[in-house]
A and B are shown apart, each in its own frame.
Chain A
Amino acid sequence: MSSVPPKPSSARRPSGRAGAAAGTAFGESIIRLEALQKTYVLGEENIVRALDGVDLTIHAGSFVAIMGPSGSGKSTMLNILGCLDRPTAGRYFLGTEDVSRMSDDALSEVRGRRIGFIFQSYNLIAQLTVLENIQVPLFYRGQDIKTSRDRCVELAKLVGLGDRLTHRPSQLSGGQQQRVAIARSLVNDPLMILADEPTGNLDSKTGTEVLGLISRLNQDGKTIVLVTHDDKVAERAQRVVRMKDGRIDRDEQRAPNATAAPAR
Chain B
Amino acid sequence: MIPYQFLITVRLGFKSLKLHKLRSALTMLGIIFGVCSVIAMLAIGEGASYEAQEAIKRLGSNNILIRSLKPPEQARQQGAGSRRGFQIKYGLTYDDAGRLLGTIPGVSRVLPMRIIRENVRFQRTEIPCQVIGTLPFYPEVAGATLVRGRFLAYYDEEHMENVCVITTGLARQLFPYQDPLNHAIKIATFYYRVIGIVQERSQPEQRSQAGKMEGQPLDNNVYIPLNTSRTRFGEILFRRSAGSFEAEEVQLHQVTVQMRDLASVETADPQIRTLLGRFHEDNDYEIIVPLQLLRQAEQTKRIFNIVLGSIAAISLLVGGIGIMNIMLATVTERTREIGIRRALGAKKADITMQFLVETVVLAVGGGLVGVAVGIITPVLVSHLTTMKTIVTLWSVLLAFGISGAVGVIFGLYPAKAAADLDPIEALRHE
Contacts and interface: CB of A to CB of B under 8 A. Distances in A.
Q: Are A and B a genuine interacting pair, yes or no? A: yes
A119 B427 CA distance: 10
B76 interface: no
A104 B343 contact: no
B253 interface: no
A145 interface: yes
A84 B343 contact: yes
B348 A104 contact: yes
Contact of B347 (A82, A140, A188): A140
A141 B5 CA distance: 10
B340 A104 contact: no
Nearest to B19: A127
Nearest to B419: A104
B8 interface: yes
Given A104-B348, A125-B337, A82 B16 contact: no
A76 to B, nearest CB: 9
A5 to B, nearest CB: 28
A84 B424 contact: yes
Nearest to B342: A108
Interface string B1-26: 01011001000000110010000000
Interface string A114-127: 00010100011111
B351 to A, nearest CB: 10
B284 interface: no
Nearest to B1: A142
Contacts of A184: 344
Interface string B155-189: 00000000000000000000000000000000000
A28 interface: no
A125 B341 contact: yes
A51 to B, nearest CB: 14
A168 to B, nearest CB: 11
A24 to B, nearest CB: 19
Contact of A117 (B8, B344, B348): B344
B423 interface: yes
B341 A136 contact: yes
Contact of B343 (A82, A109, A113, A127): A82
Contacts of A113: 345
B89 interface: no
Interface in A74-129: 79, 82, 84-85, 104-105, 108-109, 111-113, 117, 119, 123-128
Interface in A139-187: 139-142, 144-145, 184
B8 A136 contact: no
Say which size band chain B's interface belongs to: 20 to 34
A84 B15 CA distance: 27
B410 to A, nearest CB: 23
Contact of A127 (B16, B342, B350): B16
Interface of B is mostly: helix
A39 B349 CA distance: 28
A263 B345 CA distance: 36
A123 B337 CA distance: 8
B346 interface: yes
Central interface residue in B2, B339, B347, B424, by most chain A CB within 10 Å: B347
A108 B337 contact: no
Interface in B314-370: 336-337, 339-350
B345 A108 contact: yes
B427 A140 contact: no
A179 B345 CA distance: 20
Contacts of B15: 127-128
Central interface residue in B16, B346, B349, by most chain A CB within 10 Å: B346
A61 interface: no
Contact of A123 (B5, B8, B348, B427): B427
Nearest to A185: B344
Contacts of A137: 344-345
Contact of A84 (B4, B336, B337, B423): B423
Interface of B: 2, 4-5, 8, 15-16, 19, 336-337, 339-350, 423-424, 427
17 contacts: A82-B343, A84-B342, A104-B347, A105-B348, A108-B347, A108-B350, A109-B345, A111-B344, A112-B344, A113-B345, A119-B427, A128-B15, A139-B5, A140-B341, A140-B345, A141-B345, A142-B2
Interface of A: 79, 82, 84-85, 104-105, 108-109, 111-113, 117, 119, 123-128, 136-137, 139-142, 144-145, 184, 188
Given A125-B337, A140-B345, A184-B344, 20 more contacts: A79-B424, A84-B343, A85-B423, A108-B345, A108-B346, A108-B347, A109-B345, A123-B340, A123-B343, A124-B340, A125-B340, A127-B15, A127-B16, A127-B19, A128-B15, A136-B344, A137-B344, A139-B5, A139-B8, A140-B350
